[in-house]
Amino acid sequence: MIKEKIFFLKYELIKPGSSQYYGQLMHDQYLSLDEIEMLNWNRTRSLVQYAFEHVPYYRKRYTEIGCTPQDIRNPDDFCRLPVLTRQDLMNNFDDLLSDEASLKDVRLSTTGGSTGTPAKVYHPKKETRAAHGWRMLNWWNISPADDWASVWRDVNKTYKSKFLHFLQWFPTKHILLNATSFTEQDIKNFLKKFIKVRPKLLHGYVGTIDFLADYIIEHGIQIPPPKAIWLTSAPITTVQRKKVEAAFHAPVYDQYGCCEIYWLAAECPMRNGLHMFYDTKRFEFLDENNLPVSNGCYGNIVLTELQNHLFPLIRYAVGDCGRRLTHNCPCGCNLPLMDSVKGRVSDTFILPSHARLNGLTTIFDNCPEAVRQFQLHQQSDASIVIRVVPNNDYPDLDNTLEKVRTAMEMAVRHEVPVTITKVSNIPFLKGKLKFVISDYKG
Ligand SMILES: [Zn+2]
């Protein structure tokens, strides 16, 4: 396809070596699981060695615990290295930069404070991180040169940046709805362009696409189905997935990433879980004492970015809760699987008995069509309010909601009262809907 050839040629000019790197990623996903584990482990060891030699923070921390890279002979040894928290990252920002890096070689990336502590990291300018995205699009039978629609922040504010954006994407058509502020007229314009361009991919914030899906369903608008819908930036509930698929008549795929480490995991069309990008990132799932949980159990996700040597993140506790899946996927790709991220570690209710309640965002999984949105709010007296925007066409709605309420009451072991309140909408912030809020201090 000529458009694709132009795309890759142009990309090669901007980032030499990108096509070769893409080829390598495409190859490595079909290695056997043992070979992928070995590749991951070899890269982990060499990163630890490099960090000890060149990154002041790690040299200091590892020396403090009496550990040298020669002591890290196997994955069990690696588990003895300290976990890097967001607070550590903020407090030791300058010391995490390699002594071989110049500020010209790196780009600063910051995360918003909406999820808790803000963080900033450096990414190497040279890396072709887009190739990880191309591999994911390939799973969905989409070329990076295909037209796509985005519901995202409008980052190109000036004419110069708009022009550069056009050059970067040409000959691909790329339409945008600014997710951070839009009017009904903006939605109408976006959908009009969508119908004209017929993009192969719709990409964007879960919350705003969820809102868009409501609009399409309410107004009975017929949309030319894209091949895939790629939702990002927040965990997707089954409620949202079903609704967005009904509005756009296309499969929704979950992708997991964060600003500190891009491209972590994504679903393939089999949707058996998310394939972890394990050839380039090490994943661990740990309990409160930073010990590995058993395979298949939920734990705090701890990540090591194996390719960023200039600003290494080794055993970074990203603050999300997830689990590794033990089955394989028949799609042919042997990158191991993880479950969808069920929420932030902080999305936990603590009960008066100190019991902890996780996985709260799954409460409507048995009846996703009953509600359009929901939010769980633990009040300062520990009682729980489930706010729902109901789907009034749903048969036997009130009974269904009562069943969900009772299930929640069982989950909290009748320690605190649980009520359900119907509301007309739940406000979302910067395209993100906060599903779990707690004002109870314990
Ligand atoms: Zn698969």
Residue the block writes with tokens 């982990």: 44
3-state SS assignment for residue 59 = helix
What percent of the chain has pLDDT above 90? Answer: 55
Average pLDDT over residues 377-397: 91
Q: Which one-letter amino acid corresponds to residue 401? A: L
In a domain, 108, yes or no: no
3-state SS assignment for residue 313 = coil
Average pLDDT over residues 420-433: 74
CA 97/CA 313 separation, integer angstroms: 10
pLDDT digits (tens, 9 = 90+) for 338-357: 998 876 666 778 888 887 77
CA 167 to ligand 1 center in whole angstroms: 34
pLDDT digits (tens, 9 = 90+) for 221-260: 999 999 999 987 667 788 889 999 999 999 999 999 888 8
CATH number at residue 424: 3.30.300.30
Q: Band the pLDDT of 432: cuts 50, 70, 90.
A: low
CB-based contacts of 288: which residues, under 8 Å, 6+ apart? 300
Average pLDDT over residues 298-311: 94
pLDDT value for 113: 45
| Tokens (6 digits) for 330 | 């028949």
Give the range of the structural domain holding residue 362, as residue numbers without chain letter. Answer: 349-438
CA 88/CA 90 separation, integer angstroms: 5
CA 368/CA 394 separation, integer angstroms: 10
In angstroms, how far is CA 286 from the centroid of its own chain? 18
| Cis amide linkage into residue 69, ω under 30° from 0 | no
CA 252 to ligand 1 center in whole angstroms: 15
In a domain, 369, yes or no: yes
pLDDT digits (tens, 9 = 90+) for 169-184: 777 888 888 877 778 8
pLDDT value for 115: 46
**Out of 23-37, 130-144, 423-437, which region has the weakest mean confidence (pLDDT)?**
423-437
Average pLDDT over residues 192-217: 92
In a domain, 416, yes or no: yes
3-state SS assignment for residue 438 = strand
What percent of the chain has pLDDT above 70? Answer: 93
pLDDT digits (tens, 9 = 90+) for 78-123: 999 999 998 899 889 999 999 999 999 999 887 654 444 567 899 9
In a domain, 301, yes or no: no
Residue 374 has pLDDT above 50, yes or no: yes
CA 272 to ligand 1 center in whole angstroms: 7
CA 327 to ligand 1 center in whole angstroms: 11
DSSP string, 220-288: T---PPPSEEEEESSPPPHHHHHHHHHHHTS-EEEEE--SSS---EEE-TT-SSEEE-TTTEEEEEE-T
pLDDT value for 274: 96
| Tokens (6 digits) for 124 | 């190497």
Q: Which of 285, 279, 296 is nearest to 333 (CA)?
A: 279
CA 138 to ligand 1 center in whole angstroms: 12
The domain tally of the chain equals 1
CA 275 to ligand 1 center in whole angstroms: 7
Instruction: Compare 168 and 324 and report the one with higher pLDDT.
Output: 324
Which residues on neighbouring strands pair with residue 343, listed in sequence order?
Answer: 321
CA 335/CA 275 separation, integer angstroms: 5
CA 68/CA 84 separation, integer angstroms: 17
CA 264 to ligand 1 center in whole angstroms: 15
In a domain, 271, yes or no: no
Instruction: Compare 426 and 325 and report the one with higher pLDDT.
Output: 325
In a domain, 365, yes or no: yes
CA 51 to ligand 1 center in whole angstroms: 33
Q: Which one-letter amino acid corresponds to residue 137? A: L
Helices (H) and strands (E) in the chain, counts: 12, 20
Average pLDDT over residues 37-61: 97
In a domain, 202, yes or no: no
Instruction: Give the gyration radius of the chain's Cα atoms.
Output: 23
pLDDT value for 114: 41
Taking CB atoms within 8 Å and a gap of at least 24, the contacts of 112-118 are 112/430, 114/429, 114/430, 114/432, 115/319, 115/344, 115/346, 116/86, 116/319, 116/344, 116/346, 117/86, 117/87, 117/90, 118/90
CA 266 to ligand 1 center in whole angstroms: 9
Average pLDDT over residues 321-328: 92
pLDDT value for 343: 67
Q: Band the pLDDT of 205: cuts 50, 70, 90.
A: confident
CA 244 to ligand 1 center in whole angstroms: 22
**Taking a C-beta distance cutoff of 8 angstroms, is the pair 25, 39 a contact?**
no
CA 294/CA 139 separation, integer angstroms: 29
**Of the ranges 310-319, 352-361, 385-394, which is most confident?**
310-319
pLDDT value for 170: 72
Residue 38 has pLDDT above 80, yes or no: yes
In a domain, 303, yes or no: no
CA 255 to ligand 1 center in whole angstroms: 13
Q: Which of 356, 133, 399 is nearest to 262 (CA)?
A: 133
